[in-house]
């Protein structure tokens, strides 16, 4: 089998490994189960989740078997976050709904073959308090647990017993998956090292010191300016197309800094070393063309949303760049102008001046007349100069939208009530 560990290191995807030589030898000998977990704290994944999932996808493409644990059990408790506060506990109904949404998104990324999604509620919920204390509590040293970074960082402000026990439950997960799903490797973010090594220690105590299990963490993903990757002024970038449209998703990647783009191409795409090296040279020689950013946007959007989403995003981008929006479909209008000021309007025809005032696009009839006369108003890609123009809200975009541009860049979207 391929040397996936060396590949991951070239891509800058390896932070710590419990036994790198042993893991490299094992993964070249046989297919193994590889797992990471995600707690159902929301109803959609975001691009931060892509960081471990890209690792799992690479293992899958190399012939290994990815397993994702949706923490229906641990998610009801909460992993210590490293922040100076406890996580908010969720109801079991909310956890269940979130789990259903996340599972659907994961299947889009990994398919249904050679991929498993499990819920740790299925085994943790069957364990009594006495079982927990007798079978596992005796195997964990409190002093060792206190020294784990994620716990130590919270001691000054305090941590509940509930969150303190999280690392034991995550260790139980690793043991269960080792026993029932042939999982021999757990991966996670850099902050998960303590939890992961607690799991390998538990398996060695239960299955023997020669049990071949490993832990691997991923470097903290920081942008060139030192801020955390995935955090934007507008909030999280979601994988759910209803929360972040594919066009917005594409634009996020397209707008990456030259200093970050090659690192992201290595990590978030499946392009080979030669192609990435060629793109790196283009960043140096012709940065204004932004070819590396475009390739990054294409590849990640295709992975998450499919090729059609890439085509639509590029069509919208070209239309906005040229100012010719007449070729856009109603669905593309909804995507491309998702975040511009919007208003609901009736389907009734109306005088352009009165309509602009009624929709509050213009503050007064005088201002509306001036803007129309001066050619500052464009409706559905057509410049309007006649103050007597009769606007038909159903004339374009399948009768669903009226797109107004005031000046060169100020857009407004009117949604036609049917």
Provide the mean pLDDT of the chain. Answer: 91
Mean pLDDT over 71-80 rounds to: 70
Give the pLDDT score at 278.
97
Local structure of residue 340 (DSSP, 8 states): S
Give the pLDDT score at 12.
94
Whether the per-residue pLDDT at 157 is higher than 90: the answer is no
Mean pLDDT over 378-407 rounds to: 95
DSSP bridge pairs for 391: 350
Residue with tokens 């090659």: 262
Give the pLDDT score at 172.
95
Give the pLDDT score at 321.
83
CA angle, corner 290, sides to 286 and 296, nearest 5?
135
Mean pLDDT over 352-356 rounds to: 96
Residue 231 marked as a ligand binder: yes
**Catalytic residue set:** 41, 46, 49, 83, 87, 170, 191, 228, 231-232
Mean pLDDT over 105-128 rounds to: 94
Q: Choose between 153 and 352: higher pLDDT.
A: 352
Per-residue pLDDT of 196-237, as tens digits, reads 999 999 999 999 999 999 999 999 988 888 888 876 666 789
Nearest-10 crossing angle of helices 273-285, 291-305:
140
Q: Which long-range contacts (CB under 8 A, 24 or more apart) does 194-198 make?
A: 194/148, 194/149, 194/150, 194/151, 194/167, 195/79, 195/148, 195/150, 195/166, 195/167, 195/170, 195/171, 196/18, 196/170, 197/18, 198/140, 198/145, 198/148, 198/167, 198/168, 198/170, 198/171
Asked if 330 and 393 touch (Cβ cutoff 8 Å), the reply is: no
Q: How many helices (H) does the chain have, and how many strands (E)?
A: 19, 13
Residue with tokens 């017993």: 161
Mean pLDDT over 16-45 rounds to: 94
Residue 170 marked as a ligand binder: yes
Per-residue pLDDT of 229-269, as tens digits, reads 876 666 789 999 999 999 999 999 999 999 999 999 999 99
- Written as six digits, the tokens of 168 are 């034991």
Three-state DSSP class for residue 183: strand
CATH topology of domain 342-416: 3.10.290
Whether the per-residue pLDDT at 120 is higher than 90: the answer is yes
Give the pLDDT score at 307.
97
Task: Grade residue 306 by pLDDT with cuts at 50, 70 and 90.
Answer: very high
Per-residue pLDDT of 357-376, as tens digits, reads 999 999 999 999 999 999 99
Give the pLDDT score at 86.
55
Give the pLDDT score at 234.
67
Lowest mean pLDDT among 100-109, 130-139, 146-155, 392-401: 146-155
Give the pLDDT score at 225.
87
Mean pLDDT over 84-111 rounds to: 82
Whether the per-residue pLDDT at 102 is higher than 70: the answer is yes
Q: Choose between 6 and 96: higher pLDDT.
A: 6
Asked if 254 and 318 touch (Cβ cutoff 8 Å), the reply is: no
Residues for the chain: how many in total? Answer: 418
Q: Choose between 75 and 391: higher pLDDT.
A: 391
Asked if 188 and 52 touch (Cβ cutoff 8 Å), the reply is: yes
Which residues does 260 contact at the CB level (< 8 Å), separation at least 6? Answer: 223, 224
Give the pLDDT score at 250.
96
- Phi, psi (5° rounding) for residue 376? -90, -5
Task: Grade residue 94 by pLDDT with cuts at 50, 70 and 90.
Answer: confident
- Phi, psi (5° rounding) for residue 412? -135, 145
Residue 35 marked as a ligand binder: yes
Give the pLDDT score at 277.
97
- How far CA 287 is from CA of 148, 252, 255, 279, 318, in Å, comes to 44, 18, 12, 10, 19
The domain ranges of the chain are 4-218, 246-324, 342-416
E strands of 242-368, at which residues?
Answer: 342-345, 350-351
Task: Please state, for a pLDDT cut of 70, what percent of the chain lies above it.
Answer: 95
Q: Model pTM? A: 0.86
246-324 has which CATH code? Answer: 1.10.240.10
User: How do 65-70 and 350-351 pair as beta strands?
Assistant: unpaired
Q: What is the dihedral of CA 191, 86, 243, 412, to 10 degrees?
A: -120
CA angle, corner 191, sides to 302 and 125, nearest 5?
85
CATH topology of domain 4-218: Rossmann fold (3.40.50)
Give the pLDDT score at 175.
97
């Amino acid at each position: 089998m391929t040397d996936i560990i060396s590949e991951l290191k070239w891509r800058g995807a390896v932070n710590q490994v419990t036994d790198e030589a042993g893991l490299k030898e094992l993964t070249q000998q046989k297919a193994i189960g590889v797992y990471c977990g995600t707690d159902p704290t929301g109803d959609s994944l975001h691009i931060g989740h892509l960081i471990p999932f890209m690792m799992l996808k690479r293992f899958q493409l190399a012939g290994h078997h990815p397993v994702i644990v949706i923490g229906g059990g641990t998610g009801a408790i909460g992993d210590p976050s490293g922040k100076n506060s406890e996580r908010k506990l969720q109801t079991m109904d909310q956890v269940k709904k979130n789990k259903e949404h996340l599972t659907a998104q994961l299947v889009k990324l990994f398919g249904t073959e050679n991929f498993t999604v499990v819920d740790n509620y299925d085994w943790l919920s069957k364990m009594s308090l006495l079982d927990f204390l007798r079978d596992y509590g005796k195997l964990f040293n409190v002093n060792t647990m206190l020294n784990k970074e994620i716990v130590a960082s919270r001691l000054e402000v305090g941590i509940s017993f509930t969150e303190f026990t999280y690392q034991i439950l995550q260790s139980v997960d690793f043991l269960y998956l080792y026993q029932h799903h042939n999982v021999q490797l757990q991966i996670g973010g850099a902050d998960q090292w303590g939890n992961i090594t607690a799991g390998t220690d538990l398996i060695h105590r239960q299955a023997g010191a020669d049990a071949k299990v490993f832990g691997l963490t991923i470097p903290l993903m920081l942008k060139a300016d030192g801020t955390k990757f995935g955090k934007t002024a507008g909030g999280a970038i979601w994988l759910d197309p209803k929360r972040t449209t594919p066009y917005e998703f594409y634009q996020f990647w397209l707008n990456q800094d030259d200093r970050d783009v090659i690192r992201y191409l290595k990590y978030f795409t499946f392009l080979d070393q030669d192609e990435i090296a060629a793109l790196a040279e283009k960043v140096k020689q012709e940065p204004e063309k932004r070819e590396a950013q475009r390739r990054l946007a294409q590849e990640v959007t295709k992975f998450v949303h499919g090729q059609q989403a890439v085509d639509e995003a590029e069509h919208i981008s070209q239309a906005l760049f040229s100012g010719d929006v007449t070729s856009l479909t109603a669905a593309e209008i909804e995507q491309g102008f998702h975040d511009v000021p919007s208003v609901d309007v009736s389907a009734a025809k109306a005088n352009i001046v009165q309509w602009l005032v009624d929709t509050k696009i213009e503050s007064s009839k005088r201002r509306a007349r001036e803007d129309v006369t001066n050619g500052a108003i464009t409706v559905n890609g057509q410049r309007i100069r006649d103050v007597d123009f009769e606007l038909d809200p159903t004339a374009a975009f399948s009768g669903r939208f009226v797109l107004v541009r005031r000046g060169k860049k100020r857009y407004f979207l009117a949604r036609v009530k049917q």
